[in-house]
Chains A and B, each alone.
Chain A
Amino acid sequence: MYQTPAIAGSPVLTVRKNVLTVRRNVLTHQRKRDILVDVAPGRPNTRRRQSGKLKGSEVRIDGVDKAFGEFPALIDVSLTVKKGEFFSLLGPSGCGKTTLLRIIAGFETPDVGSVLIDDVDILPIPPNRRHVNTVFQSYALFPHLSVFENIAFPLRLRGLGEKVVTQRVESYIELVRLHGQARKMPSQISGGQKQRVAIARALINEPDVLLLDEPLSALDAKLRQQLLIELDTIHDSVGVTFIYVTHDQQEALSVSDRVAVMNLGRVLQIGAPFEIYEQPADEFVANFIGDTNIQPAVVTSVEGELSRLDAEGLGPVVVTCDVPPEPGHTVRHTIRPEKIRISKKRPEGLAPNTNILQGLVDERIYSGFQSKFFVELPSGYVIKAFQQHARFLDDGPEIEWKDPVWVWWNANDGYVVTPRGGDE
């Protein structure tokens, strides 16, 4: 199964060290992606491209504004979803992601801007004539129809013969693994099964684009994980463009080819999951995706790629940036907790440009595969450091509550972002 390489794939991290010197410019990203594709042949996108089963359409959204009364739901949104892509719209509730989805489906009309599917303006086309189908958050199954008839609904509308209908419906029941449930009514099946019915029903017309509006949010965590993997498999086998709306960053990161992070009606960043995670465009994205330490910091000096900052709570830190910030400006310095090393002994032989600080363990949360340490620095700032339990017992003595510890990270792992995005 394909996993987000930047988080789980050690090959990527190895590769990354090799390209350290030219890190963080567009060229490198490109190269990184190419390498990625090579080392992860199971990636859905590559596989599809090889088998030539690309049936979906390209969706281009250009300068879309939408306001509900005084409330601006979308502000100048432009993005392009590629053919056959699994594209996620990610953001907190009220960020406009669902509104954007409803505009593509045809349930809302933008105030300004255009929506093109394969270069055809779809705004004048009513929802029932768009080759776009939606999987609704509430499933929206027809309560008076059986599972079979729910899935058959679009075919019945087209007046297809009984034989064709049965054959098609059965193949989609197969696809979403609902064998033996066909005769049941929606009230007799579980939430996960309802969502499978909704997915089959939305796919049976072979739409150019499938829209998924938080389809898993009503399910419990385990089931969500399982259905997510199935969705990915379904995406591989049907080859349709998926546009997936979610507020759950784990969902978005684990299945998407690309993600658009939204807040307050604006698109803040569009990129592959690892780009969103490793190179957040601004403070909001850095905070919203994953866990991070983030502090306001004043740029004191810049020497080539290396910048020296005075970060609130941390004191002087060094960080590498491909676009150096202006000295004297206030930026945000961020460092992911899993990139911080932690030890009771002062580490020896550190690489140059390593930030090292001393503190007291304020709290430790053990969660099986990792421990989360909250380390209080002399300034009173509490920095998060996550340690993976990669071996049966990690080297060195166990770190306990109130232990004095050293925390350190390389300048290369830190990151500088502009203050909070999306706010006016």
Chain B
Amino acid sequence: MSTKSGFPRFVYIFVTFFLIAPLIVLVVASFNASRSMQWERFSLEWYRRLFFQSRDLWRAVRNSVVIALSSATVATIIGSLAAIGIRWGRFRLKSYVQTVTLMPLLLPEIILGVSLLIFFASIGVPLGLGTIFIAHTCFNLPFVILIVLARLEEFDFSIIEAAYDLGARERDTLIRVIVPVSMPGILSAFLTAVTLSLEDFVITFFVAGPGSTTLPLYVYSAIRFGVSPVINALSVVMIAVTVALVLLARNMLKYIAK
């Protein structure tokens, strides 16, 4: 780091402060016995309430996890196949297909949310977990396609020709060669999709129905009546889980890349 000007160091401290400080405040507050920001004494009260007296919250968590895993799985399967098709398929309008699939990435979420809502209403689909699942799968697709495509770009096409040459049918080639070799890309696409789905608020807000509250929706509605320290405790648990997942994913990718 440059010592001539204090600027880089200043930026460094500034960024660290605003990134880390809120998290520290959150962690501290979750262990505070008081509801207010004033420190009273150390307590695990909010954690007790989080784990034993928050049935609605856990239902929301369960909804979120179910939606995240299912929509990420479906989006990963469809998106990976789409990426393979875009990379190697020979069909008319290929470039248009590619552009259209990437559209949801560029559209503001609110427009996507509104249009999905109008669409579901017009074809008479009742709002609920089903519509959330469809919406999440839809907005996850372009991310999966982009991530898998990036992996396929560095793929030596001659190994596909080699597979055909050695007697593989199209399906053998897909299952025995393309998918295993693209696995790092597919896995990171899946993890990205899970994350995006877990945290999505805007689109979910439009397409959720009664009884299909996800975690972000629950947190939002809880906060409207003042920040409950239970939410703080939940946040700390989520931070811990996220850090654990990231570390796991990183090690896993490293292992696969070998």
Q: Which residues of A contact B (CB under 8 A)?
A: 105-107, 126-129, 132-134, 136-138, 140-144, 153-154, 156-158, 201-202, 205
Residues from chain A with Cβ under 8 Å of B176 in the complex:
153, 156-157
Question: Which residues on B sit within 8 Å (CB–CB) of A132?
Answer: 165
> Which residues of B sit under 8 angstroms from A137, Cβ to Cβ?
158
Q: Within the complex, which residue of B159, B161, B167, B169 is in contact with A142, where a contact is CB–CB below 8 Å?
A: B159
Q: Which residues does chain A contribute within 8 Å of B23, judged by CB atoms?
A: none
- Residues of B182-226 at the interface with A, using a CB-CB cut-off of 8 Å, are 183
Shortest Cβ distance from residue A57 to the other chain B in the assembled complex, whole angstroms: 16
A128 near B159 with CB under 8 A, answer no
Which chain B residue shows the least CB distance to A132?
B165
Are the C-beta atoms of B162 and A157 separated by less than 8 Å?
Answer: no
Q: Could you list 5 A-B pairs, sorted by A, with CB under 8 Å?
A: A128-B164, A132-B165, A143-B181, A144-B183, A205-B166
Cross-interface CB contact of B161 among A140, A153, A205, cutoff 8 Å: A140
B165 contact from A127, A138, A141, Cβ within 8 A: A127
Q: How large is the interface on B (under 10, 10 to 19, 20 to 34, 35 or more residues)?
A: 10 to 19
User: Which B98-115 residues have a C-beta within 8 angstroms of A?
Assistant: none
User: Distance in Å from the Cβ of B184 to the closest Cβ of chain A?
Assistant: 10
Quote the shortest CB–CB distance from A168 to chain B (angstroms). 14
Q: In the complex, what distance in Å separates the CA atom of A109 from the CA atom of B181? A: 28
List 8 A-B pairs, minimum CB-CB distance, nearest first: A140-B162, A140-B158, A154-B166, A144-B180, A128-B164, A140-B159, A127-B164, A134-B165
Report the minimal beta-carbon distance from A225 to chain B, rounded to whole angstroms.
25
CB distance from A63 to the nearest CB of B (A): 25
Cβ of B172 within 8 Å of any chain A Cβ, yes or no, is: yes
Q: How far is the CB of A212 from chain B (nearest CB, A)?
A: 12
Task: Please report the C-alpha to C-alpha distance between residue A140 and residue B156 in the assembled complex, in whole angstroms.
Answer: 7
Q: In the complex, A131→B180 CA distance in Å?
A: 26
Contact of A157 among B156, B167, B180 (CB under 8 A): B167
* CB-contacts of B137-193 with A (<8 A): 156, 158-159, 161-169, 172, 176-177, 180-181, 183
Q: Given A142-B177, A143-B181, A144-B180, are A205 and B158 neighbors across the interface (CB < 8 Å)?
A: no
Identify the closest chain B residue to A141 (Cβ): B159
Shortest distance between the CB of B208 and any CB in chain A (Å): 41
In the complex, besides A128-B169, A153-B176, 4 extra interface pairs with C-beta distance below 8 angstroms are: A106-B164, A138-B158, A140-B156, A154-B166
Q: In the complex, which residues of chain B have a beta carbon less than 8 angstroms from the beta carbon of A153? A: 163, 166, 168, 176
Looking at the assembled complex, report how far the CB atom of B162 sits from the nearest CB atom of chain A, in whole angstroms: 4
| Minimal Cβ-Cβ distance residue in B for A138 | B158
Bound together, the chains give a CA A133 to CA B169 distance in angstroms of 15
C-alpha gap A138/B155 in the complex (Å)? 12
- By the criterion CB–CB under 8 Å, are A134 and B167 in contact? no
Nearest B residue to A145 via CB reads: B180
Interface of B toward A, CB cutoff 8 Å? 156, 158-159, 161-169, 172, 176-177, 180-181, 183
Contacting pair A136 B161 (CB below 8 A): yes
Check A157 against B168 for contact (C-beta < 8 Å): yes
What separation, in Å, do the CA atoms of A393 and B11 have in the docked complex? 78
Which of B156, B158, B159, B167 interacts with A129 by CB under 8 Å? B167
Q: How far is the CB of A150 from chain B (nearest CB, A)?
A: 9
- Among A126, A133, A136, A144, residue most surrounded by chain B Cβ atoms (within 10 Å): A144
On whether the beta carbons of A133 and B166 are closer than 8 Å, the reply is yes
Minimal Cβ-Cβ distance residue in A for B165: A134
Q: How far is the CB of A149 from chain B (nearest CB, A)?
A: 10
Instruction: List the A side residues contacting B180 at CB < 8 Å.
Output: 144
* Contact yes or no, B167 A202, CB < 8 A: no
In the complex the two chains form, what is the Cα distance from A132 to B161 in whole Å? 13
Min Cβ gap A103→B in Å is 13
Known: A129-B167, A140-B156, A154-B167. A134 touches B162 (CB 8 A): yes
Set of chain A residues within 8 Å of B168, measured between Cβ atoms: 128, 153, 157
Say yes or no: B181 contacts A128, CB within 8 Å: no
Contacts of A144 in B (CB 8 A): 180-181, 183
Within the complex, the shortest CB–CB distance from B257 to chain A, in Å, comes to 10
Chain B residues near A133 (CB-CB < 8 A)? 165-166
Q: How far does the alpha carbon of A154 sit from the alpha carbon of B177 in the complex, in Å?
A: 12
Contact of A138 among B156, B166, B172, B177 (CB under 8 A): B156
Residues of B within 8 A of A156 (CB): 176
In the assembled complex, the CB of A185 is this many whole angstroms from the nearest CB of chain B, namely 8
Q: How far is the CA of A128 from the CA of B173 in the complex (A)?
A: 11
| CA gap between A157 and B164 in the complex, in Å | 11
B167 contacts A136, CB within 8 Å?
no
Whole-angstrom CA separation of A324 from B59 in the bound complex: 98
Q: Nearest-CB distance from B81 to chain A (Å)?
A: 19
CB distance B166 to A202 under 8 Å? Answer: yes
* Contact A136 B162, CB 8 Å, known A142-B177, A142-B181, A143-B181: yes
- Complex interface: chain B residues within 8 A of A202 (CB): 165-166
Alpha-carbon distance A365/B93, docked complex (angstroms)? 61
Cα separation A292 to B147 with both chains bound (whole Å): 55
Asked whether A201 lies within 8 Å of B159 as measured between CB atoms, the reply is no
A93 to chain B, nearest CB (A): 17
Least CB separation from A136: chain B residue: B158
- In the assembled complex, the Cα of A32 lies from the Cα of B105 at a distance in Å of 73
* Complex contacts, B166 vs chain A, CB 8 Å: 128, 133, 153-154, 157, 201-202, 205
In the complex, which residues of chain A have a beta carbon less than 8 angstroms from the beta carbon of B159?
A: 140-143
Q: How far is the CA of A158 from the CA of B172 in the complex (A)?
A: 11
